[in-house]
Amino acid sequence: MENNIADIVSIDKRFSDITDLISTTVDDFHVRASENVALHIQKHGVSPSWIQQGLRSSENEDCPFCDQNLTDSTIYQQYQVYFNEEINEFLQKLDSLDISFKPDQISLLSGKIKDWNRNQIANRSHWVEDGFEELAVPEVDRLVLLTESFYIIARDLIVAKKEKFHESMVDSSNYKELFDKYNAINDNISSLEERINNINKTYETYKQSLDSSDINSVQRELYQYQVKHLRSTSEVSKIIDKIEIGLRREAGINKIKKDLRKEYTDEVDLVLSTYKDSINRELGNLYANFDLSAFKTNFRGGERTEFYIKLRGNEITTSGNDNRFGTALSEGDKRTLSFAFFISALKRSRSLSNSIVFFDDPFTSLDSVRRRKTIEEIIKISKDALQVFILTHDEFFAKDIFQKCTASDESVHSVEISSTSDRYSSFIEIDLFQKCQSDYYKRYDNICQFIENPSVFADKKIIVAQSIRPLLEGYLHRKFPRSLSRSSMLGTVITTMSNDNTNLFPYDSLQIDILRDINGYASQFHHDTNPECNNVEIYDDELRNYCEKTLGMLHS
């Protein structure tokens, strides 16, 4: 945006454009048209003024001097072309000037003048309190009114000129009024510029005086004035009153919080110090190589208690960057510590006999020694509690604890939880001993059950057939652990026994032939020897015969 008001109003250029157009007459068009054909006329030695006078006097298509028809005259035609071009160009200029003086252009210019005035006031607003004057608003308002009047009068002149474009309007009353507005606008602009120049000089003088002042002291003084001024406003006073009320409330709340924290700390110290010795006893029973050394309350992020343990002479806490549980203790140690807390609380509970206790996967990450001690502690709790539930994914340790519990209590049950099709859970009582059987004993049971009751395997005889070969392999590997390679399959084992000259294997040729016969039958049910093993038809009598031969080799 322009900083100079004269550039914004641009009254000289606007007035000049209007004056040029409204002062133009038809004679001016004739003059310019005659100049354009001067060369053509000069060739014929005829005076241009004489031709111009003739054209003005001509009332028809005949020459007023010689009565010659002018329709086909080259000079005449060219003169008409240039004359019409001058008029068209003039009318286009009038149209263009008409557009620039439409009402929306008046509003646009008024807005620019007002924006300029607002910027001038804003640029000087921070100096007002130091004795400098503001730019006078009335002078700017008068400039806006004068400019709007100038535009309205100018537009009336332009419209009138378009209707009588061949006449001059310089002597009209509208033009005289326009001229007066033009002078008034220039006087107003000059007055404004003089005022601005005087104010700017005052600013510069004041700024130069500031250059010699102590900047720090002036800034401190300015800040004090600003604070005093701000503090004296009603809005700030209300805010400060609210802050003071809030601070008093905060002080009261902080006192209550402090008292509550002390009460909480005292309670924690009393309770946890009571449990400290019993927890350490449980840690000792579980063969932990650490013990609890202290409890401390912590209010970072809410009420909490931090535990400290002694591990190889170093104190470790639940938080911190260096020595802390997360990096110093193994998962088994963490489980042991948690279990010790839980057992200690249970043993000190006065309502244990009426309580139902849940242990959730207590064996995870524990070594065999700690698992054994954990089982012992659970059995002790089960004798005192109303009822005990043990949830675990480890079926082998579930079997161990089930076996120890059933030795003295027949009310113990083992139940498997599984998902149903409708996304509920089902509880099915299971035989943990059967579930924990090794593959060797499962294959042995498959063969025995088939011999006793073949109908059990009516639709899954392939399971029995596929149990024969690995059962014999497992049996021979267990019987001769140092004489057979772990990876040797039954065929390789038979070959080794057939070629033995050391009498290491107590089997005669008849028994080896039986083994070879069994292997030949069983191999057809395994992918490594028969890719179509699942399609082999199985006959009950034949399968039973080979199952009995297999048991005969095991029992011989």
Digitized pLDDT (tens) for each residue of the chain, 556 residues in all: 346 888 888 888 888 888 887 777 766 666 655 565 555 555 555 544 455 455 555 555 555 545 555 555 555 555 566 566 767 777 777 777 778 788 888 888 888 888 888 887 777 666 655 555 555 556 788 888 888 888 888 888 888 877 777 777 778 888 888 888 888 888 888 888 887 888 778 777 777 776 666 677 778 878 888 888 887 788 888 888 889 899 999 999 988 988 888 887 777 777 677 777 888 888 888 878 888 877 777 776 667 777 778 877 777 776 655 566 666 777 778 888 888 888 888 888 888 888 898 888 776 767 778 888 888 888 888 888 888 888 888 787 788 878 777 766 667 888 888 887 777 888 888 877 777 778 889 999 999 999 999 888 888 889 999 999 999 999 999 889 888 888 889 999 999 989 888 888 888 889 999 999 999 999 999 988 888 888 899 999 999 999 999 999 998 7
> How many Å apart are CA 476 and CA 470, to the nearest integer?
10
Tokens of 525: 């049910």
Tokens of 532: 């179509």
> How many Å apart are CA 284 and CA 291, to the nearest integer?
8
Return the half-sphere exposure (C-beta side, CA atoms, 13 A cut-off) of residue 183. Answer: 5
Give pLDDT, residue 48.
44
Residues near 116 by Cβ (< 8 Å), separated by ≥ 6?
Answer: 1, 2, 5, 8
* Number of neighbours of residue 72 by Cβ within 10 angstroms: 9
**Residues 60, 48: contact at Cβ < 8 Å?**
no
**Residues 137, 120: contact at Cβ < 8 Å?**
no
β-strand partners of 427: 417
**What is the dihedral angle through the alpha carbons of 331, 335, 341, 344, rounded to the nearest 10 degrees?**
-140
**Residues 114, 140: contact at Cβ < 8 Å?**
yes
Give pLDDT, residue 126.
61
* Amino acid residing at 461: K
Tokens of 34: 């005659």
Give pLDDT, residue 549.
93
Give pLDDT, residue 472.
93
Give pLDDT, residue 1.
39
- Whether the model clears a pTM of 0.75, i.e. scores above it, the answer is no
